[in-house]
Amino acid sequence: MEENYTEIDLSKIWESFKRVWFWCVIVCILSTGAAFLITNYLIVPKYKATGKIIVVQKNDAQNAQMNINDVNLSQKLVSTYSEILKSERISDLVVTELNLPYTNKEFVDMVSVSSANNTEVINVAFTSPNPQEAMDVANTTIKIFQEQIYEIMSIENVSVLNWAKFPYYPDSPSMIKNLAIGLLIGIMLSGLIVFIVLIKDSKVKTEDEFREILGYPILGVIPDFANELARLEKSYDKK
């Protein structure tokens, strides 16, 4: 069974692009400009403040040095503590103390807890449109977690590595990333314009195209009298 393939000549694509290159440039400029305006004026910037706590096993008086078992146990506790940090017990106390206008689900969505490279260090971050609020909530969460962990697990092995600092610059949105996305959308739309022009262009421009379409040899070519007359008129005017 024979399959029919349609070959697209790259020269035809280039010719189509040359016909609409100005509009392609305009589309790219408009899409990039739209990305800039949306990022700068419509998307609310969000700030992230991050504090660090460390989980360390307390050693007794007879064992002054930390052994490998203590380290392994501390690393296992990290995942447990991460869940506790995002539990309702902690979030309710933080929301009440700071009088935050968030539900428990909204609060949990704004808090991020992660382990630093599989170590005993836990990053506690809060993201908010208000940078002061982001810092206050992150530090309050750490403070309340320290207070509650002894009641929950009857152990004191959490120390503050560093408190969250005031975030002077927004964490999102990323202007560079959004501009790149806007430019990419513009390029895709430009490609669509070129493709539409290429598909709609049904004119036969060369002898080779005519021969390829009909599959018959060309017996003769009618000259373009309009171009020839224009050339003769210019030559006559020069004389």
pLDDT by residue (tens digit) across 142-171? 999 998 988 888 777 788 999 999 999 999
> What is the pLDDT confidence band of residue 83, given thresholds at 50, 70 and 90?
confident
Task: With respect to residue 167, please indicate whether it lies within any of the assigned structural domains.
Answer: no
Same domain, residue pair 120 and 224:
no
Task: With respect to residue 107, please indicate whether it lies within any of the assigned structural domains.
Answer: yes
> What is the pLDDT confidence band of residue 219, given thresholds at 50, 70 and 90?
low
Q: Cα separation of 216 and 211, whole Å? A: 6
Reply yes or no on whether the pLDDT at 33 is more than 90: yes
Same domain, residue pair 33 and 58:
no
Tell me the average pLDDT across 89-96: 92
Same domain, residue pair 58 and 117:
yes
Task: With respect to residue 168, please indicate whether it lies within any of the assigned structural domains.
Answer: no
Same domain, residue pair 103 and 151:
yes
Regarding predicted confidence, which is higher, 11 or 67?
A: 11
Same domain, residue pair 75 and 147:
yes
> What is the pLDDT confidence band of residue 98, given thresholds at 50, 70 and 90?
very high
Task: With respect to residue 149, please indicate whether it lies within any of the assigned structural domains.
Answer: yes
Structure tokens at 149: 């962990």
Task: With respect to residue 113, please indicate whether it lies within any of the assigned structural domains.
Answer: yes
Same domain, residue pair 28 and 57:
no
Three-class SS string for the chain?
Answer: CCCCCCCCCHHHHHHHHHHHHHHHHHHHHHHHHHHHHHHHHHCCCEEEEEEEEEECCCCCCCCCCCCHHHHHHHHHHHHHHHHHHCCHHHHHHHHHHHCCCCCHHHHHHHEEEEECCCCCEEEEEEEECCHHHHHHHHHHHHHHHHHHHHHHHCCCCEEEEECCCCCCCCCECCHHHHHHHHHHHHHHHHHHHHHHHHHHCCCCCCHHHHHHHHCCCCCCCCCCHHHHHHHHHHHHHHC
Q: Cα separation of 124 and 50, whole Å? A: 6
Same domain, residue pair 133 and 51:
yes
Please identify, among 137, 162, 187, the residue that sits at the C-terminal boundary of a domain: 162
Instruction: State the average pLDDT for the chain.
Output: 81
State the pLDDT at residue 78: 78
State the pLDDT at residue 151: 86
State the pLDDT at residue 199: 82
Same domain, residue pair 23 and 95:
no
Q: Look up the CATH number of the domain holding residue 61.
A: 3.30.70.1130
Number of domains in the chain: 2
Please identify, among 114, 136, 162, the residue that sits at the C-terminal boundary of a domain: 162
Same domain, residue pair 88 and 64:
yes
Domain range for 93 is 47-162
State whether the Cα torsion 113-114-116-122 is positive or negative: positive
State the pLDDT at residue 17: 86
Same domain, residue pair 143 and 212:
no
Same domain, residue pair 152 and 197:
no
> What is the pLDDT confidence band of residue 1, given thresholds at 50, 70 and 90?
very low
Q: Cα separation of 24 and 30, whole Å? A: 10
Reply yes or no on whether the pLDDT at 237 is more than 70: no
Task: With respect to residue 1, please indicate whether it lies within any of the assigned structural domains.
Answer: no
State the pLDDT at residue 227: 64
Regarding predicted confidence, which is higher, 205 or 39?
A: 39
State the pLDDT at residue 28: 95
State the pLDDT at residue 49: 96
Task: With respect to residue 2, please indicate whether it lies within any of the assigned structural domains.
Answer: no
State the pLDDT at residue 2: 46
pTM recorded for the entire structure: 0.68
State the pLDDT at residue 186: 95
User: How many whole angstroms from its chain centre is CA 216?
Assistant: 55
Please identify, among 132, 162, 192, the residue that sits at the C-terminal boundary of a domain: 162
Q: What pLDDT, in 10s, does the model give residues 37-81?
A: 999 999 999 999 999 998 876 554 344 444 545 556 556 677 788
Task: With respect to residue 169, please indicate whether it lies within any of the assigned structural domains.
Answer: no
State the pLDDT at residue 166: 96
Same domain, residue pair 79 and 184:
no
Q: Are the beta carbons of 189 and 31 closer than 8 angstroms?
A: yes
